[in-house]
Chain A
């Protein structure tokens, strides 16, 4: 019989719960709130059968565009042929985690605002742009001993003994 391409085909390991984490899912997943515009990761929780996304979306990150009673609408990019489509799916909150992709950006925003406010108070102009790491500065090598390495003449007797 052929393999079949049903909705949950080839998801035996993908949707299975991790080792020793089966059964009840911790309640903090239900207590989180999501606002429209947040970034979320889609990660399927095999213990909850309702509101599961298709296996394609497992591991994708998208933005929230809708919030309903028990589920969230997430807008995810999918490449179809030669173009990328923004697909809108609805997923129950058990299969969604808040994404940390913008966390670094948000923290940097706050810090930059703070730095700019301080600089304004001091009356100087600063640049908060990130600079890439430049080449390392030059330095003198210390504590180096010069050791000249010369080849040893080939000793037939000793080396052959080992090789036999």
Chain B
């Protein structure tokens, strides 16, 4: 093999500047974070809340967070894996589930701050653009949407979370340009299409499509739906019930967890400062007594 000059010399490593840890992990966009967190100095310690919506392969995480120097503080959180408690067991990462999670988070935070009676939000999800109106006593809870690293295309599920939170009664500055059902040519949101997505209409349409054309694929793809005997026509009713259940009792339930098992320790435990000092004194004493010398000045100080 011909001699290849080593690309990364010692000098390269010496001069290399690592990016921030979360940037190396590819989890945080610092440019966006900077702009979301920066609070006007003449507002001093007023927290700036952000509605964080993140999607994993099987779950949705929605949190209301405000930043501090020792770390961000989460005010309230809602997950898609909590939705079975409200009657939704399948399709936990689709647009309709995202709407439910946003709604759950909004109702939960308002209940926590005791504002839920004042700010009902939009009880009947119509798909139209809804903004919270300020009530008499308190101004509405304001948060900013933090999408993270996703590409904000029209009809993305993060905007499902946004819509759910808006209808729940949180004030979030937004425009309807990226909701599902926004027509680029006419530059208008079609509330019918958006409503269809909120109630899982797109899932129901696909189910009907498959039932006619490819029944085997329907059986394999929607097996969980079939197991719970969910038909395309019953989907909308199911989501309506879930929304009502969420509004009825949004508070978080503490999960019962068994105390973690004690594991056998495979590596040596690091000693504390006192333990190390004591060990040193013992060693020196042993040395002194072994050598048979009795020193005036004692070694331990």
- Residues of A at the B interface (CB closer than 8 Å) are 20-24, 26-28, 30-35, 67-72, 93
Contacts of A72 in B (CB 8 A): 41
Contact present for A35 and B15 (CB under 8 Å): no
Expressed in whole angstroms, the minimum distance between the Cβ of B42 and any Cβ of chain A is: 5
Among residues of A, the one whose C-beta sits closest to the C-beta of B42 is: A67
Q: Quick check: is B183 within 8 A (CB to CB) of the other chain?
A: no
Give chain B's interface residue range (CB within 8 Å of chain A).
Answer: 10 to 19
State in angstroms the CA–CA spacing of A27 and B68 once bound together: 10
Contact present for B41 and A34 (CB under 8 Å): yes
Among residues of B, the one whose C-beta sits closest to the C-beta of A32 is: B69
Contacts of B33 in A (CB 8 A): 27
- Residues of B at the A interface (CB closer than 8 Å) are 15-17, 19-20, 30, 33-34, 37-42, 44-45, 67-69
Contacts of A31 in B (CB 8 A): 37, 39, 67-69
Contacts of A34 in B (CB 8 A): 41
Contacts of B20 in A (CB 8 A): 24, 26
Given contacts A22-B17, A68-B41, 6 further A-B contacts (CB under 8 A): A23-B19, A27-B30, A31-B67, A31-B68, A70-B41, A72-B41
State in angstroms the CA–CA spacing of A152 and B40 once bound together: 81
Contact present for B40 and A70 (CB under 8 Å): yes
State in angstroms the CA–CA spacing of A157 and B134 once bound together: 106
Q: Is the interface of B mostly helix, strand, loop or mixed?
A: loop
Contacts of B41 in A (CB 8 A): 33-34, 67-72, 93
Contacts of A20 in B (CB 8 A): 15-17
State in angstroms the CA–CA spacing of A30 and B68 once bound together: 10
Among residues of A, the one whose C-beta sits closest to the C-beta of B68 is: A31
Among residues of A, the one whose C-beta sits closest to the C-beta of B18 is: A20
State in angstroms the CA–CA spacing of A24 and B38 once bound together: 14
State in angstroms the CA–CA spacing of A33 and B41 once bound together: 6
Contact present for A69 and B42 (CB under 8 Å): yes
Contact present for B44 and A27 (CB under 8 Å): no
State in angstroms the CA–CA spacing of A21 and B16 once bound together: 10
Among residues of B, the one whose C-beta sits closest to the C-beta of A30 is: B38
Expressed in whole angstroms, the minimum distance between the Cβ of A58 and any Cβ of chain B is: 21
